[in-house]
Amino acid sequence: MGNGLIKAVFFDYDGVLTTDKTGSLTTNRYLSQAAGIDFSKIRAAFSQYSRALTLGQTTHSQIWQQVCSELGRDLNINLLYEAFASTPVNEGMFSLARQLKASYSVGIITDNKKDRIDHLKKTQDLEALFSPIVVSAEIGTGKESTEIFLHALKCTAVNPEESVFIDNNRENFVAPNALGFKTVFHDDETNDIAALVRTLNTLGVVAGNA
C-alpha cells in the first residue's frame, strides 16, 4: 500500500475538505440568512455550547430549545440540518483524496459535532471516500490530545511515522508531531492545493495534480 514509508493520509475536515475555515461559520451563516437573525446573535447563542458539542457532552437537539429561547424565536430544527448540508465542499481537495485512495488509506480526523458529521456523511457521501472518519465528539477529546490520533492509527493499523496529517491550524500539530506523524499545513485562505501536493511529494506521498 502506497510508496515508501507513508501508508495513510488523514485530512482535517473544516478548512481543508471544505472552503469555510470552521463549521461554526458555515452553520451560523446559514441560520442567520435563513432566519433573518444577525450573525453575531446566532454565534453568541451557540458559542457557550460549542465545546460540549465538540466533545460529545451534548447534542444540537438537546440544546435547541435553549438556543431558540436566547434568540427569541421558535425555529424549526430542520433549519439546522439544512445549515449542515450547506457546508461548501473543497472540490480540489476531494479530488486529491480520491487520487490518494488508490494507494493509501485516506481518513478524516476532526474536532466536530457528531450530529453534524453524521448528517454530512449522508449528504456528502463521506464514507465512500474516507475511512476512518474520527470525530472528537465520538472520542470525547479533541486534537489537543494524542488520543484522537491514536484512535485513527488503530483503525487503519498503521504506525504514526507511516502517517500524514493535513490541517489548516498549526496548533493542531503538537499532539500528532509528538507521536511521530508527518504534518502538513494547508492555508485555507489561498487553498493552494498544488503547493500541498508538492509538499506531500517531498514526504514520499505520490500525488498528481488535484
Give residue-wise pLDDT tens across range 103-140: 999 999 999 999 999 999 999 999 999 999 999 999 99
Bridging pattern class, strands 133-135 and 163-167: unpaired
Helical H runs in 74-184? 78-85, 91-101, 114-123, 136-139, 147-156, 174-179
2 pLDDT above the threshold of 60: no
Q: Mean pLDDT across the stretch 69-79?
A: 97
Please tell me the predicted confidence (pLDDT) of residue 208. Answer: 62
Chain mean pLDDT for the chain = 96
Share of the chain above pLDDT 70, in %: 97
What pTM value is reported for the model? 0.95
Q: Specify the residue for cell string 493552494.
A: 192
Classify the C-alpha dihedral 159-125-16-1 as positive or negative.
positive
From the list 141, 132, 134, 135, the residue with the least C-alpha distance to 113 is: 135
Domain extents for the chain?
Answer: 8-20+88-202, 23-85
pLDDT bracket for residue 209 (50, 70, 90): low
Cα separation of 196 and 179, whole Å? 22
- With a CB cutoff of 8 Å and minimum separation 6, the contacts of 100 are 9, 106, 205, 207
Give residue-wise pLDDT tens across range 21-72: 999 999 999 999 999 999 999 999 999 999 999 999 999 999 999 999 999 9
Q: Mean pLDDT across the stretch 152-166?
A: 97
DSSP-derived 3-state class of residue 107:
strand
Alpha carbons within 13 angstroms on the beta-carbon side of residue 13 total: 30
Q: Mean pLDDT across the stretch 164-170?
A: 98
CATH 3.40.50.300 fits 8-20+88-202, yes or no: no
Please tell me the predicted confidence (pLDDT) of residue 198. Answer: 95
Please tell me the predicted confidence (pLDDT) of residue 207. Answer: 81
As a 3-state breakdown, the chain gives helix, strand, coil percent values, each rounded to 5, of: 50, 10, 35
166 pLDDT above the threshold of 80: yes
